[in-house]
Chain A
Amino acid sequence: MTAINYDILPDILKLNFNSDIRRIVIQQRKRLVVYIRKESLLEIANYFLDELAYRFIIATGMVSDKGYEVIYHFSDDKNGYIINLLTELEESKPEIESLANLIDAANWIEREIHELYGIKFINHPNLTKLISDGLWKDNEFPYARKKGDNQNPAGL
């Protein structure tokens, strides 16, 4: 396990993952957002969980200007940091590799994001409804982008 120096972590990540990382934004003290190519999710997540021993907190699905974003939140408990991996998905093909095979903590949240937004998690062991059984039809995704929207669907 590597000891972490947050002053140089952005450089280490760029060194190890090069063009997979689009940019790193230091959001507030102890909060980082790493924008990555979605194809490199498994590799970088594995590095976070194994090498850096981060804890997986949760993932957030959301609608963005051009499609969807899925943000994976990790915690460095020893130093109090929250490090977030942000992946961008296209509206026409909102899919991304599942993390559930890497870590069980991602299993349920991927099911939830799928049933709300319609985002597909490839190779998820069981992508069925989690929280909304019986509340809306099977191929309905109430939080998904409306066709032709270029911003968030308005709240109720």
Chain B
Amino acid sequence: MSTKTIIPIGPYHPLQEEPELFKLYCEGEIVKDIEWETGYNHRGIEKINESKTFDQVFFVVERVCGICSTSHPFAYANAMEELAKAEIPDRAKYIRTIIGELERLHSHLLWVGLAGHFLGYNTVFMWAWKYREIVLDLFERITGNRNNYAMFKIGGVRRDIPNSQIADIKSVLDTLKPKVDLLTGAVMDDPVIHARTKKVGILSKEDIINYGAVGPTARASGIAIDVRKDDPYAAYPLVNWKVITSEGCDVFAKAEVRLLELYESISIIDQCLDKMTHLKEGDILNPVKNIPEGMAFGRAEAPRGEVFHFVKSDGSNSPVRHKIRAPSYVNIATFKKSCVGQTIADATIILAAVDPCYCCTERMAFAYDYCTGKKIMNGLDLIRISHQKTNELKMKM
């Protein structure tokens, strides 16, 4: 009878010893079941928002998640502007779109780095994060901060991008494209990465629909849902771009979708910057005086998928109820399908493949013995096993 081992999925960097997000119950090499335990990250944000004014809520929701920092204000602004029947100026639409797409760039580059690390390619990690700095510099230039941009206001945006800066920003973006080519080539052409990620962590179309998964996780299984196309907002209907899908359903397909989305994002930002040069500077806000009573439903496409906000207003200047649903909430639930039946060595890359918001990735699982319930390995061991597998494959090839 084989012993069952529990493997903790550890966070990328050696963080905590105990916080357990996922418990993988293993029998020998195979994952038999996965449990989710938490309590470490609950902050009570929805309640905090009930004591803030509508404009103050932007600052709180930006900090729901650090990486998808703009998507939450985006969805919230979409909701409130629908409720208030407010039209925002075109220039504000372009600026919002630019910030949203820059965020997608930095988030996908971050993911590529982490995925590289989990597979044992530390150079990919260093490169991806080094090129990510170019995007963060652009953020700092436009908004004043590398993270948490405070750009949104109901009715428009807070800061303008002067037309005089546009040519320079475009040339910085141009330097990013060859770096993206480099990373894409490095990841997509490597036979060991193919061996590690193809046919691993498969999620069928039915699984995606059953779990309500969204974002690149769904698009990698051939389901073409993207809020920017399905329920357009901001400047997305005003520029040319396409939704990237793949039929692979596996980890490789998820990587492919994210890498190709990088090119679309750069193209969208370029087009928005071009169109902005023809618009009057400074016309970035149509102030909204009152939020009427009613219910507001808004969404935006974060790098990880659809962010959904529901706000109930009673005519006062605070929300009565604010419900926030991040995409990772539905995407992480798919682990039950994608991890069970796979080997321990593949567990980290499968978990990383749905790009759980780092808040969640932070505290990952521990491995427990299926029979005895004793803790066997911790997160670092898991990553080590994954690196071992990559090395073995490299030697074979």
Give yes or no for direct A-B contact (beta carbon below 8 Å). Answer: yes
B135 at the interface (CB under 8 A from A): no
**Judging by beta carbons under 8 Å apart, are B294 and A55 in contact?**
no
A60 nearest CB neighbor, chain B only: B323
> Measured between C-beta atoms, what is the minimum distance from A118 to chain B in Å?
15
Q: How far is it, in angstroms, between the C-alpha of A135 and the C-alpha of B296 when the chains are bound?
A: 30
**Judging by beta carbons under 8 Å apart, are B231 and A133 in contact?**
no
Contact of A156 among B38, B48, B295, B308 (CB under 8 A): B48
**Judging by beta carbons under 8 Å apart, are B211 and A104 in contact?**
yes
Residues of B within 8 A of A131 (CB): 38-39, 41-42
B36 nearest CB neighbor, chain A only: A130
Q: How far is it, in angstroms, between the C-alpha of A28 and the C-alpha of B86 when the chains are bound?
A: 12
Q: How far is it, in angstroms, between the C-alpha of A76 and the C-alpha of B266 when the chains are bound?
A: 29
**Judging by beta carbons under 8 Å apart, are A60 and B310 in contact?**
yes
**Judging by beta carbons under 8 Å apart, are B47 and A135 in contact?**
no
Contact of A27 among B47, B212, B294, B330 (CB under 8 A): B294
> Measured between C-beta atoms, what is the minimum distance from A145 to chain B in Å?
13
Q: How far is it, in angstroms, between the C-alpha of A31 and the C-alpha of B310 when the chains are bound?
A: 11
B195 at the interface (CB under 8 A from A): no
> Measured between C-beta atoms, what is the minimum distance from A22 to chain B in Å?
16
One digit per residue, 1 when the CB lies within 8 angstroms of any chain A CB and 0 when it does not, for chain B 20-60 equals 00000000000000001111011000011111000000000
A56 at the interface (CB under 8 A from B): yes
Residues of B within 8 A of A122 (CB): none
**Judging by beta carbons under 8 Å apart, are B321 and A155 in contact?**
no
Mostly, the B contact residues are: mixed
> Measured between C-beta atoms, what is the minimum distance from A115 to chain B in Å?
10
- Given the known interface contacts A73-B308, A143-B47, the answer about A107 and B212 at a Cβ–Cβ threshold of 8 Å is no
**Judging by beta carbons under 8 Å apart, are B210 and A58 in contact?**
no
A79 nearest CB neighbor, chain B only: B230
Interface bin, chain B: 35 or more
B241 at the interface (CB under 8 A from A): no
**Judging by beta carbons under 8 Å apart, are A82 and B323 in contact?**
no
- Given the known interface contacts A60-B323, A73-B310, A131-B39, the answer about A156 and B51 at a Cβ–Cβ threshold of 8 Å is yes
| Most chain A C-beta atoms within 10 Å of own C-beta, residue among B41, B212, B232, B321 | B212
**Judging by beta carbons under 8 Å apart, are B212 and A55 in contact?**
yes
Contact of A103 among B37, B210, B225, B312 (CB under 8 A): B210
**Judging by beta carbons under 8 Å apart, are A108 and B333 in contact?**
yes
**Judging by beta carbons under 8 Å apart, are B82 and A107 in contact?**
no
Residues of B within 8 A of A87 (CB): none
CB-CB contacts below 8 Å: A12-61 with B:
27-31, 33, 55-58, 60
CB-CB contacts below 8 Å: B325-339 with A:
325, 329-330, 333
A96 at the interface (CB under 8 A from B): no
Residues of A within 8 A of B37 (CB): 133
Q: How far is it, in angstroms, between the C-alpha of A31 and the C-alpha of B361 when the chains are bound?
A: 34
**Judging by beta carbons under 8 Å apart, are B330 and A77 in contact?**
no
Contact of A57 among B210, B296, B306 (CB under 8 A): B306
Residues of B within 8 A of A134 (CB): 39
Q: How far is it, in angstroms, between the C-alpha of A52 and the C-alpha of B211 when the chains are bound?
A: 17
A127 at the interface (CB under 8 A from B): no
> Measured between C-beta atoms, what is the minimum distance from A33 to chain B in Å?
6
Residues of B within 8 A of A108 (CB): 329, 333
**Judging by beta carbons under 8 Å apart, are B225 and A77 in contact?**
yes
Contact of A135 among B39, B225, B306 (CB under 8 A): B39
**Judging by beta carbons under 8 Å apart, are A105 and B48 in contact?**
no
- Given the known interface contacts A103-B210, A105-B210, the answer about A28 and B38 at a Cβ–Cβ threshold of 8 Å is no
B83 at the interface (CB under 8 A from A): yes
One digit per residue, 1 when the CB lies within 8 angstroms of any chain B CB and 0 when it does not, for chain A 107-144 equals 11100000000000000000001111111000000010
Q: How far is it, in angstroms, between the C-alpha of A134 and the C-alpha of B42 when the chains are bound?
A: 11
CB-CB contacts below 8 Å: B272-320 with A:
294-297, 299, 306, 308, 310, 312, 318, 320
Contact of B231 among A80, A130, A152 (CB under 8 A): A80
**Judging by beta carbons under 8 Å apart, are B308 and A57 in contact?**
yes
Q: How far is it, in angstroms, between the C-alpha of A78 and the C-alpha of B225 when the chains are bound?
A: 8
CB-CB contacts below 8 Å: B320-371 with A:
320-321, 323, 325, 329-330, 333
Residues of A within 8 A of B312 (CB): 62
A84 at the interface (CB under 8 A from B): yes
B209 at the interface (CB under 8 A from A): yes
Residues of A within 8 A of B212 (CB): 55-57, 103-105
- By Cβ-Cβ distance, the 4 closest A-B pairs, closest first, are A105-B212, A155-B51, A155-B50, A80-B231
